[in-house]
């Protein structure tokens, strides 16, 4: 049976998370199809045909998919589900919003944020903020799954899939998008960055947060992340938040500055390859997961570190 991957996009370009989801789909064994639902999303469909390992791209172009509201897209996916053994979406805010709705419409369980595929019906997923890993087996006819993107390699380029246009489902008219405000950033996206510099409450103010972390991030070509404490204190916008309830990241290098290391924060970053912690409290829990720890005053250490990286 074939596998359907629901593409994440903004009607202009495909989001990187889709590539990791195709990477996970490839491990299931079966023909991989990608669904692009949107309005004026032809270019996205075109981009999806080039993903290695994709056999077919289904494009559903209709005005009521412009905002990709969960209600309408789930209805569309429900209609397509008959031919598929698995339906996958990335475990991003968009995927988490839609996939459970699809599952309930199909009367099947949804398997959230898988980090490994053991068999086509058996998956590993973290529970209790990543403090335990559960291996679960699904007996449902269609497996609806969200994929933790940092746990799977992104599919490469080189595909040559065919595009097939699929008819739209009726507009349910339950929900309308009023506005969307995206934070503009010159930095790499948090989820895809190779290096992340993250700040916590220890930075003390928004001025310090930006003033100290940005020069260091610039030198390293890094994205900036934050603990919940830093976000709640208003040092930075909430989409910087790394943790159980924010973004889950796994960069090559994660530098935690003034972050104590609460369970909820560790759940979002403990799969990073190398973790560096800079904190004045030698007992901070962050040092238990850090590969390199430096006890010191971050107001002194961070500028020194910025200067030392040539």
Partner 1 sequence: MKILVPVKRVVDYNVKVRVKADGSGVDIANVKMSMNPFDEIGVEEAVRLKEAAVATEVVAVSCGLAASQETLRAAMAMGADRGILVETDAELQPLAVAKLLKAVCDKEQPQLVICGKQAIDDDANQTGQMLAALAGWPQATFASKVSIADGKASVMREIDGGVETLSVTLPAVVTTDLRLNEPRYATLPNIMKAKKKPLETVKPADLGVDVAPRLATLKVSEPAQRKAGEMVADVAQLVDKLKNVAKVI
- Pick the piece of the chain touching partner 1 (CB under 8 A) from 42-50, 51-59, 133-141, 199-207: 133-141
The DSSP code sequence of 205-257 is: SHHHHHHHHHHHHHHHT-EEEE-HHHHHTTSS-GGGBBSTTSB----SEEEEE
257 sits near partner 1 (criterion: CB under 8 A): no
151 sits near partner 1 (criterion: CB under 8 A): no
Residues 59, 111, 240, 301: is their CA dihedral positive or negative? negative
Contacts 24+ apart (CB under 8 A), 115-120: 115/148, 115/151, 116/151, 117/24, 117/27, 117/28, 120/28, 120/29, 120/30, 120/85, 120/86
135 sits near partner 1 (criterion: CB under 8 A): yes
Q: Rank residues 155 and 277 by Cβ distance to partner 1 and give the closer one.
A: 277
Q: Specify the length of the chain in residues.
A: 310
What's the min distance (Å) between Cβ of 160 and partner 1? 29
What's the min distance (Å) between Cβ of 145 and partner 1? 11
Distances (CA, A) of 224 to 209, 218, 230, 235, 285: 10, 10, 12, 12, 21
Are 6 and 87 within 8 A, CB to CB?
yes
What's the min distance (Å) between Cβ of 133 and partner 1? 5
Q: Rank residues 132 and 160 by Cβ distance to partner 1 and give the closer one.
A: 132
Which of 160, 162, 182, 186: binder of partner 1 (CB under 8 A)? 182
Question: Interaction with partner 1 in 94-123: which residues (CB under 8 A)?
Answer: 94, 96-105, 107-113, 122
Cα–Cα distance, 15 to 238 (Å, whole number)? 20
Q: Rank residues 27 and 264 by Cβ distance to partner 1 and give the closer one.
A: 264
Which of 12, 274, 281, 297: binder of partner 1 (CB under 8 A)? 274
- Pick the piece of the chain touching partner 1 (CB under 8 A) from 49-57, 151-159, 205-213, 263-271: 263-271
Task: Tell me which residue has tokens 């097939």.
Answer: 164
170 sits near partner 1 (criterion: CB under 8 A): no
13 sits near partner 1 (criterion: CB under 8 A): no
Question: Interaction with partner 1 in 27-66: which residues (CB under 8 A)?
Answer: none
């Amino acid at each position: 049976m074939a596998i359907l991957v629901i593409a994440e996009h903004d009607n202009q370009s495909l989001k990187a998370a889709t590539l990791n989801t195709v990477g996970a789909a490839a491990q299931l064994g079966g023909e991989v199809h990608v669904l692009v639902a949107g309005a004026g999303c032809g270019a996205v469909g075109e981009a999806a045909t080039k993903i290695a390992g994709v056999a077919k791209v289904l494009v559903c172009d209709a005005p009521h998919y412009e905002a990709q509201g969960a209600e309408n897209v789930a209805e569309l996916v429900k209609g397509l589900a008959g031919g598929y053994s698995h339906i996958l979406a990335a475990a991003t805010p968009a995927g988490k919003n839609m996939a459970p709705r699809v599952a309930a419409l199909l009367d099947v369980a949804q398997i959230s944020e898988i980090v490994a595929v053991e068999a086509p019906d058996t998956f590993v997923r973290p529970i209790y903020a990543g403090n335990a890993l559960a291996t679960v087996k699904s007996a449902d006819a269609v497996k609806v799954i969200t994929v933790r993107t940092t746990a799977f390699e992104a599919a490469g380029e080189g595909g040559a899939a065919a595009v097939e246009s699929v008819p739209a489902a009726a507009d349910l008219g339950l929900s309308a998008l009023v506005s969307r405000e995206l934070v503009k950033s010159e930095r790499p996206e948090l989820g895809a960055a190779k290096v992340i510099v993250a700040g916590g409450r220890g930075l003390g103010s928004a001025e310090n947060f930006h003033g100290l972390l940005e020069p260091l991030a610039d030198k390293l070509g890094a994205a900036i992340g934050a603990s919940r404490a830093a976000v709640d204190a208003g040092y930075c916008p909430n989409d910087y938040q790394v943790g159980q309830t924010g973004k889950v990241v796994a960069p090559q290098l994660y530098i935690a500055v003034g972050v104590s290391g609460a369970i909820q924060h560790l759940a979002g970053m403990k799969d990073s390859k190398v973790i560096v912690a800079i904190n004045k409290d030698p007992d901070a829990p962050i040092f238990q997961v850090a590969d390199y720890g430096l006890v010191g005053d971050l107001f002194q250490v961070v500028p020194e570190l910025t200067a030392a990286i040539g």
